[in-house]
Amino acid sequence: MSQSCVERIIGVLATDEGLRRRFRKNPRAALQEMVDRGLELNDCEMASLATLDGRELMRFARAINPRLQKIELSGGDSWNG
C-alpha cells in the first residue's frame, strides 16, 4: 500500500458528498466500496481510516471550494473510482 492511495481516499471523502454521507453511516462499508473499486488498503489502513471523524470530514469538505466538490443529486452511488 502506498501513501498515495490513503491520500486519494481522504481526498475522495473530502470532495464526494455521497461517499461522505455513506462513510458517516458506515465507515467500513464506505471504505470497502472504495477497495472494491480498485483502491488498495491493508487491514491497518482500513482500521485507521475507519476511525476518521465524519463530522470533521464534513467540516473539512465545507472548507474546500464548491467547484471542487462532487455533489450527490440522485441520493445514490456517486463515486466513479
Residue range 16-56, pLDDT digits in tens: 999 999 999 999 999 999 999 999 999 999 999 999 999 99
The pLDDT value recorded for residue 66 is 84
C-alpha 22: how far from chain center: 9
User: Alpha helix (H) ranges present in the chain?
Assistant: 3-15, 17-25, 27-36, 43-50, 54-63
The three-state secondary structure class of 16 is: strand
**CA dihedral sign, ordered 1, 31, 45, 15:** positive
pTM of this structure = 0.78
The pLDDT value recorded for residue 78 is 47
Query: What residue has cell string 475507519?
Result: 50
Q: Cα–Cα distance between 10 and 20 in angstroms, integer?
A: 10
